Structure formats: C-alpha cells, structure tokens
Amino acid sequence: MLERTDQNDHHTLGNRIYRQGLNYGCLNDRVQCFKYFKEALPHARKANDINNMIRILFDLGSEYANLKDGDKAIACFSEAEALSESVGSLKLEGLSRWQHGDALLDLQKPEEALEMLKRSIKLVYEGNFPAAEKWIFIKAAQAANICGHPQFATKLLAKGKYVRDEEKRALAVYENNYIEAITESILKSISKADFQKYSFDGIHTDWQALWDEFDQIQPKPIL
C-alpha cells in the first residue's frame, strides 16, 4: 500500500506510515515501531496535518523514553501538548499527557508520572472522551503501585481488564505484558487473597469513582 501511494501526497503517506508503526507497536516490535514513527513525522509536517503530528509526536516520545533518551522524549511531548492547546483539543492533549506519564515511568520518575496521569484523565473527561480510560488504566495502575498504593493499583487493573473482556476487545501484546509485570510487582506487596479482594472491589466500582480515588492518592515515602 505504501509503495502505491503518491510520494507527493504527504497527508496520506504520513497517516499510512504512522499506522504501520502502530501495527508493529501492538506486536511489541519496538524497533520497527520507532522506525515508522520517525519516518511518518516529516510527512505529517509537510502536510501540516496537526492532528496526525500530535499523535505521531506523543507516540514517538514514548519510544524515545523507552530508549532512555529523556531530552528527545520531553521535546516530543512538549510539542504535542503545545499543538493540542493551539487547536483546543482536550482529547489530544489528554492523550499526549497520558503518553507523557507513561514516558516518565520509563524514565524512572513515578511521582511526576502520577501527576501527569491525573491531569490526563481530567482532560479526557473534560474533552468528552472517557473511552480513553480503557487505555490509561494500565499506566495509572503502574504509577499507583510504584508510589505505594498496590491495593488501588489492583482495583484499576481488574476494572480495566474486566471491561475489555466484557467488550470482547482483546488487549494488545504489550498491554498483556504490562499487566503481567504490574501484577507480579503488586504481589510482592500484598497477599493473593488481598489481590483477589481488591480485584473484586475494582470490577464492581464505576470508573468515575476509581478516578476520583486516583486523583486523591499521593506518593508514599519509601521506608
């Protein structure tokens, strides 16, 4: 499809190359994912496709963070957030800040990630895009767990996975990997019985109540 695309049609090229990167991301192939995101961005810039630029930038920022290149990651997120504000898109700003929070976790800055994710969830609700909670829950759970709240992290993980299962919308490979890693980490802090209890509580709590609780948690000091 890419070979058949008019090489001067930067709008279409940017979109298709970016989608190819997303496909590799779902397969957890970070090398190919990063390659396609980098290739897509110049086309989106040439087409002045602001919405696609924002999406590419926040995904590219995540890949830079995964490579521990903090400066380039933050530069991508800063541009994505500024562009979102310039077009007045709370949805895209919320998604940008979600990815930014994810990147801060990769960069070993969980307290900053917690605050960024709190801002993200507020923006997606203000922008009437609550469906984003089905993506944000994993990173919110990870931040909560690292910041000393394994019980609440368990609630979020259980709720998110339950909702996905009910919708018959499968988790991507990387999402399953994250959930397994977070679960393993949580079980170092609480018993399996407590894990099951808080999972049950999370499944039977509505999203808004969970996000209200998330907004109130603060990092606990490491003893």
Q: 15 and 114, same structural domain?
A: yes
With CA atoms as reference, report the closest residue to 141 among 114, 121, 103. 114
- Pick the last residue of a domain from 128, 158, 178: 128
Answer whether residue 4 is part of any domain: no
Last residue of a domain, one of 93, 128, 163: 128
- Residue 207 within a domain: yes
pLDDT of 220 reads 85
pLDDT at position 135 over 70: yes
**Domain contains 53:** yes
pLDDT at 58: 93
Residues 22 and 120 in one domain: yes
- Tell me: do 51 and 148 sit in the same domain: no
In this structure, the answer to whether residues 24 and 77 fall within a common structural domain is: yes
123 and 13: one domain?
Answer: yes
User: In the structure encoding, which two tokens stand for residue 118, read together?
Assistant: 């709190």
DSSP H helix total and E strand total for the chain: 11, 0
Same-domain pairing of 166 and 213? yes
Residue 110 sits in a domain whose CATH number is 1.25.40.10
Of residues 111 and 130, the one with the higher pLDDT is 111
Residue 2 is predicted with a pLDDT of 56
pLDDT digits (tens, 9 = 90+) for 67-126: 999 999 999 999 999 999 999 999 999 999 998 999 999 889 999 999 999 999 999 999
pLDDT value of position 15: 92
Residues 113 and 158 placed together within one structural domain of the fold: no
Q: How far apart are CA 114 and CA 104, in angstroms?
A: 9
Q: Is residue 218 part of a domain?
A: yes
Distance separating alpha carbons of residues 170 and 195, to the nearest angstrom: 22
Domain boundaries, position 30: 9-128
Domain contains 75: yes
Residue ending a domain, choose from 69, 103, 128: 128
pLDDT in tens, 144-197: 999 999 999 999 999 999 998 888 887 888 788 899 999 999 999 999 999 999
Q: Where are the alpha helices (DSSP H) in 48-132?
A: 50-66, 70-87, 90-106, 110-126
Same domain, 18 and 92: yes
Which position has the higher pLDDT, 33 or 27? 33
> Which pLDDT score is estimated for 27?
83
Count of domains forming the chain: 2
Q: Provide the pLDDT confidence category of residue 223 given band limits of 50, 70 and 90.
A: very low
- Integer Rg of the chain from CA: 18
Does residue 179 fall inside a structural domain? yes
Same domain, 152 and 122: no
Residues 123 and 160 placed together within one structural domain of the fold: no
pTM of the entire predicted model: 0.84
Q: Does residue 71 fall inside a structural domain?
A: yes
Q: What is the pLDDT of residue 174?
A: 79
CA 122 to chain centroid: 14
The answer to whether the CB of 41 falls within 8 A of the CB of 60 is: yes
What is the distance between the alpha carbons of residues 6 and 145, in angstroms, rounded to a whole number?
48
Within-domain flag for 2: no
> What's the pLDDT at 38?
96
pLDDT over 80 at 8, yes or no: no
Q: Which residue has the higher pLDDT, 99 or 203?
A: 203
Same domain, 104 and 154: no
